[in-house]
């Protein structure tokens, strides 16, 4: 079978990037074919290409009717996605289903529905609940955004989410879905297993790792809070070192400096895996968020215990190696009592969930 997908435009190595690879890998393992619509097609790099796009968008935005709302810029982007993804679908002999990953934009969904192509929404988050995320079909407040997202997701034939929390919340509003948990794709899993095999326990000295995309507001605030608690609790310097890495992590240095804290910012895979090799544990914290944190299964696969508050641990709190803390004092206590020899089990591949996902694509029959 042959599928078209509008994969999310995410940074190399980010959680969204890894989730997209996971989806593609599961499709390939089922002996199906997948072609991605490149989001770069929406941003021409040449002057003539930009002028041509401007002419097309100007013409299409005046007459495209795909249930859009909002300003002219949103109308134009929706119209352009509608046109180009539709052209991709028309360029092949048969499209068995459209995998709608970039659920912030609905041009591709409209193009697939117009052609009678079955659609499966595979959102990485509930995007309307991410304050900084732009939805092309809503420019209202939080409640309006969520209602609009539910409405768009309901237009798809089937929906696949990353966590049972998202499934539960959508079901309250009459939008049914199935869950496909994140699991590291094979190339990532191979590298993480290598880290596990060579992990060097730092003896009595503890090294804790804080990693995340600090460009994503909930993650930035979580990382900032963790550092302030560790500094305030007197845990930095001395017997405990802290490594901070991820996109934009260096922004935290302004008000979170202390002895024993090293800010690495965005790092190469080799550098990241080296830090994971020598760490005692990883710490994650979030006050809010949807979806699930892909880095938690990654840490566990690498043999790294994870300390997390309940919000950050959502969908993963049942896994071996995840240790919950409920407040700042609890975090300090958990860090102080860390077992430097701990080696959690590798998370199992979600075989049954992957089979249900493929059933959605093959038969249009999502069942839990």
State the pLDDT at residue 48: 76
* Percent of the chain as helix, strand, coil, to the nearest 5: 45, 15, 40
State the pLDDT at residue 83: 82
Q: Which of 10, 189, 21, 194 is nearest to 102 (CA)?
A: 10
Q: Which of 365, 354, 366, 367 is nearest to 32 (CA)?
A: 354
Q: Which residues of 249-268 are buried (b: 16+ CB within 10 A; e: fewer)?
A: bebbeeebeeebbebbebbe
Residues 175, 166 contacting (CB under 8 angstroms): no
State the pLDDT at residue 315: 93
The model's pTM is 0.86
> Both tokens of residue 307?
């300390």
DSSP structural state of residue 178 = E
Residue linked to tokens 């860390």: 338
The rounded distance, in Å, linking the Cα atoms of 116 and 282 is 47
Angle at 287 between CA 238 and CA 141, to 5 degrees: 150
Q: Which residues contact 184 (CB under 8 A, 6 or more apart)?
A: 18, 22, 192, 297, 298, 301
DSSP structural state of residue 163 = S
State the pLDDT at residue 264: 92
State the pLDDT at residue 25: 95
Domains of the chain, earliest start first: 2-183+351-363 (3.40.50.2000), 186-336 (3.40.50.2000)
pLDDT averages per 10-residue partition of the chain, 368 residues: 78 78 94 79 64 63 48 66 85 91 89 92 91 84 93 95 96 96 95 90 76 82 90 80 90 85 90 92 90 94 95 94 94 87 91 94 60
The rounded distance, in Å, linking the Cα atoms of 318 and 308 is 12
Q: Which residues contact 140 (CB under 8 A, 6 or more apart)?
A: 148
Q: Which residues contact 122 (CB under 8 A, 6 or more apart)?
A: 23, 99, 100, 101, 159, 160, 180
């Amino acid at each position: 079978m042959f599928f078209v997908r509008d994969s999310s435009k995410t940074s190399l190595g980010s959680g969204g990037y890894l989730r997209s690879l996971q989806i593609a890998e599961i499709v390939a393992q089922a002996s199906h074919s997948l072609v991605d619509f490149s989001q770069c097609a929406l941003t021409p790099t040449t002057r003539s290409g930009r002028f041509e796009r401007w002419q097309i968008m100007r013409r299409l935005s005046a007459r495209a009717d795909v249930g859009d709302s909002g300003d002219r810029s949103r109308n134009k982007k929706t119209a352009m996605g509608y046109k180009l993804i539709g052209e991709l679908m028309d360029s092949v002999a048969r499209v068995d289903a459209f995998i709608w990953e970039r659920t912030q934009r609905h041009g591709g969904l409209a193009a697939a529905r117009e052609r009678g192509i079955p659609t499966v929404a595979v959102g990485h988050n509930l995007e309307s609940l991410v304050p900084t995320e732009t939805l092309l079909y809503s420019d209202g407040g939080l409640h309006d955004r969520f209602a609009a997202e539910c409405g768009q997701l309901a237009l798809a034939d089937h929906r696949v989410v990353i966590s049972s929390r998202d499934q539960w919340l959508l079901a309250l509003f009459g939008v049914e879905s199935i869950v496909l948990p994140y699991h590291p794709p094979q190339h990532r899993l191979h590298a993480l297993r290598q880290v596990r095999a060579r992990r060097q326990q730092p003896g009595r000295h503890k090294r804790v790792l804080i990693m995340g995309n600090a460009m994503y507001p909930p993650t930035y605030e979580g990382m900032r809070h963790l550092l302030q608690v560790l500094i305030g609790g007197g845990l930095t310097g001395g017997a405990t070192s802290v490594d901070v890495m991820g996109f934009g992590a260096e922004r935290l240095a302004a008000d979170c400096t202390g002895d024993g804290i090293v800010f690495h910012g965005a790092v190469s895979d080799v550098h990241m895996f080296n830090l994971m090799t020598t760490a005692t544990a990883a710490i994650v914290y979030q006050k809010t968020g949807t979806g699930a944190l892909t880095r938690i299964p990654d840490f566990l696969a690498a043999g790294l215990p994870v300390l997390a508050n309940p919000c950050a641990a959502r969908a993963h709190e049942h896994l071996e190696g995840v240790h919950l803390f409920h407040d700042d004092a609890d975090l300090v206590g958990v860090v102080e009592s860390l077992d430097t020899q701990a080696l959690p089990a590798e998370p199992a591949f979600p075989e049954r969930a992957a089979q249900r996902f493929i059933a959605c694509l093959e038969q249009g029959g999502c069942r839990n």
